[in-house]
């Protein structure tokens, strides 16, 4: 029997200086200002998250996964860039979710297969039919596992078609501004008013 994985707390390296994705690659929401978003997700990443949430929406089962990326600095501010998501087998109900302990080996295998240096920049989970918010359990999870200033919780309601991002603040939480950006391929380089994550 394989030894269960050990999770260790790492200290974040200094954020690298890099500009955020250019405004003409922001596809959601419409980039109406030059302000820096707190978090940027690739379109592929968001599509994986939404597909995962939708796959279990009809059963009203929550899902969850980890947001993988890096933290950068620009104009004396920091932002996170989510490059991928990983998940594994889950123990889920309509109001709770957690990783199945038997799935940790697969989860860490996915992380080991990433071919770049990464930081766990947060997590995502769904609230099918309940709307986007942070429950007391969600806040406790964020405090225990994702309590650095750059950590985000992305909450998706695939039934109401809502997505919101949050971070901890004092004893509660606040919304975090996020944007989805497209790659440089044909048809993906400019803002499309038709694009929606759902």
Per residue in 147-178, pLDDT (tens digit) is 999 999 999 999 999 999 999 999 899 999 99
pLDDT per residue as tens digits for the range 14-59? 788 999 998 888 888 866 666 789 999 999 999 999 999 999 999 9
Residue ranges of E strands in the chain: 16-17, 26-28, 39-42, 64-74, 77-86, 90-92, 97-99, 119-126, 152-157, 162-169, 172-176, 178-181
Q: Sorting pLDDT into bands at 50, 70 and 90, what band is 7?
A: very low
pLDDT at residue 113 in the model:
85
Residue 148 included in any domain:
yes
**Number of neighbours of residue 166 by Cβ within 10 angstroms:** 23
pLDDT per residue as tens digits for the range 53-65? 999 999 999 999 9
Q: Are 45 and 83 in contact (CB under 8 A)?
A: yes
Residue 3 included in any domain:
no
Return the structure tokens found at 61.
């089962």
Return the structure tokens found at 189.
């380089």
CATH of residue 104: 3.40.140.10
Number of domains in the chain: 1
Give the Cα separation of 195 and 193 in Å (integer).
6
- Of 107 and 125, which is predicted with more confidence? 125
Residue 193 included in any domain:
no
Residue 173 included in any domain:
yes
Which domain, by its residues, includes 176? 37-181
């Amino acid at each position: 029997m394989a030894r269960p994985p050990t999770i260790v707390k790492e200290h974040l390296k200094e954020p690298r200086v890099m500009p955020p994705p250019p405004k003409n690659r922001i596809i959601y929401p419409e980039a109406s200002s030059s302000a820096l978003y707190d978090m940027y997700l690739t379109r592929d990443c968001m599509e994986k998250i939404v597909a995962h949430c939708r796959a279990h929406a009809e059963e009203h089962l929550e899902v969850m996964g980890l947001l993988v990326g890096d933290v950068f600095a620009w104009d004396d501010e920091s932002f996170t860039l989510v490059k991928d998501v990983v998940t594994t087998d889950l123990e889920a109900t309509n109001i709770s979710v957690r990783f199945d302990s038997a799935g940790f080996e697969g989860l860490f295998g996915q992380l080991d297969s990433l071919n770049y240096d990464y930081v766990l920049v947060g997590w995502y989970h769904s609230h099918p039919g309940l709307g986007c918010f942070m429950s007391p359990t969600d806040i406790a999870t964020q405090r225990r596992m994702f309590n650095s200033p750059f950590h985000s919780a992305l909450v998706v309601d695939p039934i109401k078609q809502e997505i919101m991002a949050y971070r901890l603040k004092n004893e509660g939480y606040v919304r975090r501004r996020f944007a989805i950006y497209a790659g440089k391929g044909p048809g993906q380089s400019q803002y499309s008013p038709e694009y929606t994550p759902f």
